[in-house]
Structure 1
Amino acid sequence: MASTHLAGPVVVIGTGLLGASIGLGLEHRGVPVFLEDTSPTNQAVAVDIGAGRPVSELEADSGAQPQLVVVAAPPDVTAHVVERSLARWPRAVVVDIASVKASILAELRERGVELSRYVGTHPMAGREKSGPVAARGELFTSMPWVVCAHADASDDAVRLAKALGTDLGAIVTEFDADEHDEAVALVSHLPQVMSSLLASRLQGTDLRLLSLAGNGLRDTTRIAASDPGLWVQILGANADKLVQHLYGVREDVERLIGTLEAPTAPGARLDLAQLMSEGNAGQARIPGKHGGPPQAYAWLTVLVDDRPGQIAKLLTEIGEIGVNLEDLRLDHSSGRNVGMVEISVLPSKHDELVAELEERGWRVLQ
């Protein structure tokens, strides 16, 4: 059993994807977890999958107090649940994991809540699926866990907030609440909006046209499958930060429209090239593997028969060759019973891997 910084008990209020995943992760590390949810069904499922026990069992012990309470409630009720939890367990530190921070802290201050035992946090992890059935104990492994300490928070409260992320295998980082909300508006909320806007253009499209879709469309619309109800709350709570980025997007789109309305006009092609180059420059700034500096990789595509065991065989043979995979994507050839495995490796290993795979009988496209 892995050593932990938390002793517990830990109470998790809200047993959706993130709350149940926190419970699973802590229970796996031997930290006792107790669960509560307004949905009896969600709570029962979370208990059944091993994310913890009902909070009623903790309360049955009249002297028991949790060390930490994790509020995993929707953003629009988070401040209320935090306030109630601070009063309900007067010796516990209370954290929330909502994806917006400044508005929740402001609401708690407006309510006159004593905040020495409260710290806002945000695990930057998730899935398109929701609910406890989608929970994974390893969901937070190597993912950022933001701790937003504030002036009124005690040192012990900040320590426990960091310990939660550390015990779940996350990479703990500190931001203040406004800085956090500015960051997620750009790196999380804007991508969600752009993905949803693009996917909305597919409504009513002839399926024959969509049959030509490849990884580009799938990649850029993947997060459009996210829960609308949750995103209504997130976008509304961080609207002032997000709208500033949308103003910039509007300027870029209007610029592009103006250029494409006269694509052969003097300077039009240069403007299109510049716009694409600006995208190249921005994409190159995204941190690379393990959060390190961006690095260029070489890609190759291996054709794989669409039958059981072929991808596993390919990955096994790449391991035998001794080349480390930096990234992998899977697509299917339209109209053929063939899968296409796109592999990225260090440029210095590209030619070696191609030669070795072809020698072993694999069909490689470069």
Structure 2
Amino acid sequence: MNLPISLPTLPNIPGLPPIPLPVLPPPFDVLIEFMQTSEFMEFAVELSLKLLVFPGLAFIMLYAMLAVWGERKLHARIHLRIGPYHVGPIFGLFQLVADGIKLLGKEIVTPERSHKFFYHLAPVLIMSLSMITLAFIPFFPVGPGEYWTIYYSEYSLLIILALFSLRPFIMIMAGWASNNKYTMMGAMRAAFQLLAYEVPLMLSMASVVILAGSFDLAKIVESQANMWFIVPCFLGFIVFFISTMAEICRRPLDIIVAEQEIVFGPWTEYTGMEYGLIMMSEYVDVAIASFLTSILFLGGWHGPGLHPLVWLLIKMGILSMFFMIGRSTWPRLRIDQLLDAGWRKLIPLALVQVFIAIVLVYVLKVIVV
């Protein structure tokens, strides 16, 4: 039984007796005792590294900056242009620093007839949702059954899928709170698009879960030690990639924020750092989509020679390029074409992939779960 512990007394004052601090009742006494152990210090240092360095704040900021710069350079190369080159010693690398400073100096404008509380809450929620989603992704093993992740869960894939399903609600809230016809049209498009593509997204994930026998992303990666799941689940990979592109609103599936039609969709009215948060969340979503695609279909951190994290980052970088390249190569689909592709083409393909996975595991027993 843990008895209450006394904290050290206050420093002695000449002429006065020592003044002891009050005795803490349970469970605070146990908490204070635990905070004085070496295990707590190791936990605190590791958690700080994860939150502040990788996959936390420093990684998010660095990836967002490099992704924006890389996307602009990529589109410039496709268009036979140079892209940003004025700011920075080479290749305009500091252009994003200049853009960030510019956004910091911009005024945050609140529309007069907007629902102000929800209007300012939406950018915070959309960025927080992206960061929380990143917390459940395992990045590399650190020991038997242990992985470098902010929060490890055996149901990490289900949790991420649930977090994905919250995105349309935040977009609808932003569109409604802005009290603008363009933002409301974008919000309605978000509801239609994300609902249409969540079903094939779930079905493509289901085929991977059948092959791995687990909702744990780390176990899914370990199941691909001998063969990547893109081999038996090629149809599922195609469906997942397209559905994820729709979920993160990348061209040609970005009807939610079609600039030529509805300015910037549900985010039209936002300025300053609120706009910066929205843009940063979009690139964090690209990173999440790339990590998930690599983990589910491309073996995650498996690869010869290099550190597991290096392999995962290489795969993530290549996939990020493919998510971004559509902006310069494909025309945007109309909303009827987009919904038709989701409901009438991707869902049947995903169902075929689920059937193939069931046959491989339970009938032919080619893959042992």
**Short-chain TM bin:** under 0.3
TM-score, L = length of structure 2: 0.24
Flag the structure with higher helix content: 2
